[in-house]
Chain A
Amino acid sequence: GQNIDQPTEMTATEGAIVQINCTYQTSGFNGLFWYQQHAGEAPTFLSYNVLDGLEEKGRFSSFLSRSKGYSYLLLKELQMKDSASYLCAVLDSNYQLIWGAGTKLIIKP
């Protein structure tokens, strides 16, 4: 079966750095996405990785290792507005998005 695992909840301090991990087992791979979702809202796109390595975009970076079925989202200089759920999703061989359950990130002052 297809499976995406990420921690349920994480807590971090304002101004700090946090890394959210995601491991996946899917039928085929056409890229991995990270989305941010605030409560009651639809997900918003953060990043897309299809090749191994680190993609940096401002305070957010995303890493992918296809051989290990592993990705992480790195958030730097955390701000209170970063409190949200972060969803990892993989595009499988049928170009269908397989979603993780999301990681709720709580930022404390």
Chain B
Amino acid sequence: GAVVSQHPSRVICKSGTSVKIECRSLDFQATTMFWYRQFPKQSLMLMATSNEGSKATYEQGVEKDKFLINHASLTLSTLTVTSAHPEDSSFYICSAPFGGMETQYFGPGTRLLVL
């Protein structure tokens, strides 16, 4: 089956620094990838839709200048959390559709802790 990877799996950083999270589709091409955030004991919240070769589409309430998304190739999307603060600490998960939008493959997630 299709595989999506994320890197890093876990990151701890100081407040004010920027963190880049990579999402890769390993054995298929993805023109669209989705970025989610999940706080403890809550469901996944869609942050943005990453589109290869064009600007990302952000959900209401998500700051596009803070969460920079770059979908530079058909197999890679990156999410950069700029000037991270403790409230940005969360579990970030990406997904990519394969064989149709109803089939989503999730990356293993990246746990971000901002001190």
Given A42-B93, A87-B43, A87-B44: A97 touches B104 (CB 8 Å cut-off): yes
A85 to B76, CA, bound (A): 29
Number of A-B contacts (CB under 8 A): 44
- In the bound complex, do residue B102 and residue A102 qualify as a contact, i.e. CB atoms below 8 Å apart? no
Which residue of B44, B45, B101 contacts A43 across the interface (Cβ within 8 Å)? B44
With both chains docked as a complex, state the minimum distance between the C-beta of A4 and any C-beta of chain B, in angstroms: 8
Whether a CB of chain B sits under 8 angstroms from the CB of A74 is: no
Residues in A with CB closer than 8 Å to B67 are none
Whether a CB of chain B sits under 8 angstroms from the CB of A60 is: no
- Considering only residues 74-115 of chain B, those with a C-beta below 8 Å from chain A are 91, 93, 101-104, 106-109, 111
The size bracket of the interface on B is 10 to 19
Whether a CB of chain A sits under 8 angstroms from the CB of B46 is: yes
- In the bound complex, do residue B43 and residue A31 qualify as a contact, i.e. CB atoms below 8 Å apart? no
- Considering only residues 16-57 of chain A, those with a C-beta below 8 Å from chain B are 30-31, 33, 40-45, 48, 50
A104 to B93, CA, bound (A): 19
- In the bound complex, do residue A96 and residue B42 qualify as a contact, i.e. CB atoms below 8 Å apart? no
- In the bound complex, do residue A41 and residue B43 qualify as a contact, i.e. CB atoms below 8 Å apart? no
A48 to B49, CA, bound (A): 22
> Among the interface residues A31, A33, A43, A48, which one has the most CB atoms of the partner chain B within 10 A?
A43
Closest to A91 in B: B102
Residues in B with CB closer than 8 Å to A91 are 101-102
- In the bound complex, do residue B102 and residue A31 qualify as a contact, i.e. CB atoms below 8 Å apart? yes
12 A-B pairs whose Cβ atoms sit less than 8 Å apart in the complex: A30-B101, A40-B91, A41-B109, A42-B106, A42-B109, A43-B44, A50-B102, A87-B43, A91-B102, A96-B46, A100-B43, A102-B42
